[in-house]
Structure 1
Amino acid sequence: MQQPEPPHSCVKIAGQPLRCYDFKRAGTARETPEDRTLNADNLLAQGAKTTNSRAQAGRSDEILHLVLKSLDDDKAEDVTQIDLRGKSSVADWMVVCSGRSSRQVTSIAEKLSERLKPELGHAARMEGKEQGDWVLVDAGDVIVHIFRPEVREFYQIEKMWQDPEPAKRLS
């Protein structure tokens, strides 16, 4: 009798050990109170104010500026900002960058979260910090992906959000 496949995904990157991620259990053992309070109702209860769309756009631009400054201060490499306004309801901006090592990737993410806390009123939510290959920092209207270069090349996340090339006529 054959064993069922485990609920995880493994990634092999040249020169690196095999990394496996258990998506079923990801985050459940390390959940923090902030992880449970990042919904709109709780943010309103904490004193966040509703604003019109123009003010929200200005706020996302302010957060983007803080993110870019923090990444520059921490020597993040190959920083790319992608305007998601009108393309996604999840966020207004996506920032993709690289760190030279797992340690630098983790450090960039931790410092970014610390620097954003006064602006956001709470710590930015992070995923992937334990592995240090790819850390996602959720700052509300700005999503930041911090990769090791090999992992960034493997996933090519920027291609997903680039404008499509015009169709070419074959004949």
Structure 2
Amino acid sequence: MESTDLLQIAATACDDKQGKDIVALDMKNVSLIADYFLICHGNNERQVQSIAREIKDKVEENGVDVKKMEGFDQSRWILVDLDDVVCHIFHKEERSYYNLERLWGDAAKVPDENLFVKSEE
């Protein structure tokens, strides 16, 4: 599966669970860590966990294994490693503190129209 397809599946999963301020950074020319960082936040611990679970479920339905999931118990910053896509699901307060968008400011933002799975109408 292409990393762009994986990104769209994960972003759509975030959106399905009302993840807030969903942003994807194109990391291909900036870092060797991953092709994309997907960043969003939830308003409380339960929502943060729900978003992470939905990402895990949706990518596994599409035959992709989650490499690692960290921070689930505390639910302040859950990292879901999908290899080419790394998802950062923050609690609202933690997101503004860590501000990954600024930290990785050299990375291009993926346009919203390329971020979500297109519904077949």
The two structures have a TM-score, normalised by structure 1, of 0.59
Query: Whose Rg is larger?
Result: 1
CA contact (8 A) 2:42 2:92 kept: yes
Question: Cα deviations across residues 45-86 of structure 1 (Å, max 9, x unaligned)?
Answer: xxxxxxxxxxxxx70001011011111111100111100011
CA 1:114–1:133 in structure 2 vs 1: closer, same or farther (change >3 Å)? same
Gaps of 5+ in 1: 1-57, 165-171
1:95 maps to 38
Bigger strand share? 2
Gaps of 5+ in 2: 108-121
Counterpart Cα distance in 2 of 1:111 and 1:96: 14
Identity percentage of aligned residues: 34
What is the total number of aligned residue pairs between the two structures?
107
1:140 maps to 83
CA-based RMSD of the aligned residues comes to 1.6
Q: Which has the higher contact order (CA 8 A, sep 6+)?
A: 2
DSSP 3-state at the match of 1:117: helix
The two structures have a TM-score, normalised by structure 2, of 0.82
2:98 maps to 155
2:62 to 112, 119, 129: 119
